[in-house]
Structure formats: C-alpha cells, structure tokens
Structure 1
Amino acid sequence: MNRRFAAAHASRSSAFAAAILMSAMAGSAIAESPSLDSTPYAGARTRAEVKAEVMAHRSELSAAGSEYRLQSQAQPFAGTRSRAEVQAETLSQPAALSSAANEWTLQANAPQERMSTITRAQATAAYIASRDQVRAMNSEDSGSSYFAQMPRQTGTTLFASNQDQR
C-alpha cells in the first residue's frame, strides 16, 4: 500500500511541478521600453523652410543624379605615352611577364599535377583489402560489433603516468 501511495504521490508531484513550469513559461514576454526623452524639441526653422531647402537641392540628393553629374564632368583619360612605347617596355622585362603569368595560373584554379607514391592498382588493392572494415565502420553500430570480434592485444601494456616524459 505504501508503494502505491509513494508512486501516486511522486506522479502527482511531478505533474504539479510541470504545471507550475508551464504556467511560468506561458506568460508573455515584455521587452523593456527605451527611455523616452520628455523634453520638447523646438527646431530653429519651420517645416515649410526645410521642405523648400530640400526641394531646391533635389538633384544633389538623388544618388543617380549625383553620379551622372560627376561622370559628365570627368575628363577622359589621356595617356602620355603611345601604345607602342608601353608594349616595348612590357616586352623588355620577361621576368616580370613570367612571374605575372605564374601568379595568374596559381589563382586560376588550374588542375594541379598529382604527385603520388602508389599506383592506381595498389590503391584499388588496398581498398578491396579494407572493404570489410569500411563496411563495418559505416554500419549502424559504427563498428562496435566489428571491434568486439577483433582479437585483443595482450602483448602491450600501457601505463598511465602523471610525470612528463622528455
């Protein structure tokens, strides 16, 4: 009888605690309002004066209008050297040309030359040899049954130590 009473009491207590927590969390969140400055502001100009000034400078306020006006006032580029002079200077420095070309190939995501010490056949043979282990490690239990079936290594003893080994 005492066990039933204890179980019922524990069940009621946890239900009561859950009800209290749910009612506490069900309340609405109220953010703190910003502090309001209650001093009245009186501008130096009237609304009509400000509107008249804005309308007078309307073309300057438009980003597109300002950009167009700046571009139309810009002077076209006029170089001081001829095309032949620039080409001659560029071709007279082959080291600069090759370093720029190398820099470009590094940045262009060109396929890199593969340097491997094993052949394709060796890689395929290694994969086939470890296929069972790969399948076991990718299984549902992440390889725990595979490791349980493996023979245990009893020849090596490991000791934990708090001393630094140098």
Structure 2
Amino acid sequence: MILHQALAQCRTLVVEGPDGVARTALIAQLTRHGFVIRRSRGHLHHVDPIRPYRELLAAPGRLAVNGSIIHELVYGPLRRGRSRVTWIQALDFAEAVAERDGALIHVTGGTDDTEAAGAYERAFRTLAQHAPVVTFDAREAGDPGLPSHGPAPPPCPQLRRCTQTLTIGWRQTA
C-alpha cells in the first residue's frame, strides 16, 4: 500500500522513533495530507501519564501525534532505570489509537544508538498486538511522498481497523 492509500485509511497516526532519527519530512508530508500535528505539552502526568494523549485523541479530524508514551517506554528504563508508563497503560493507548482508525508509525534509521533502536523494536512488536504498526526507514524512503514500490506484504491478521499492513517503502514488523 502506498502513502496515499495509507492516509486515506487511517485518520490517526502516532509518529515515533529513537532520538536522532529524522521525522521532519514525514511530518511535513502528513500535514500536506490534512493531518493536524499535535504533541503532548509538558511532562507526563504523575498519576495518569496517558491522560494527555487521551485528550489529544479526543480531538476531531485527522490527527498525527509527534512523539508519545512509546518514547517513555524506551528511554525511561535506559536513562532512569524504569518507565513512568506501565505496559497496561501503553497497550491501552495503542488500543485507543486503533479505535480511532489509527496506526503507530515506527520511524527507524539514522541513529547510532543500537540499544534504543532495539528497545523500540521490542516495544513496537508488543504494541502491534493492539494497533497496526508501520515501520518507516527514514534512510531508505527519501521523500515519503514518493514511496518505493515493491510487492506488498501479506495482510496481517492482528490488525483491527486497517485491513492490510501499511507500507511506504516500509517493512512490516512482526
């Protein structure tokens, strides 16, 4: 599936990846296709870290969230020894994205931090059980508006709302 088809199917996209991975071109492409870009303000809420994201997801229209609780799932343990977000909360967030006809975009490439990259891989593999996950390699894609064409991967039975794995010169996560 190419970018235009993916954008037509999903009205919510969560764009996330390791620090140092360029998301700018992808974010710009999303705005050109009518997505409003939002980012949670401030720090995570101390009692309910998912609350700001639930509020973002309650907004009407097409929405792309730049960064999310997935960052905390990865960097919390790496930097502080623990995450302020539980897996139950993260899975709840992923289900909320799926219920809003959404997908999680895992941006890869361009980072030397293999530990963080591996942690993102594991996190997205787990979250894929609750929401569609698309892996976007920023190094290979060039302009996300001009996806590479190749055979589409087979449909993923885990996806609820989107009926196929979304691809934009991307590879499917297991």
TM-score, normalised to structure 1, is 0.15
Q: Which one has the bigger helix percentage?
A: 1
Structure (1 or 2) with the larger CA radius of gyration:
1
Q: Which one has the bigger strand percentage?
A: 2
TM-score, normalised to structure 2, is 0.14
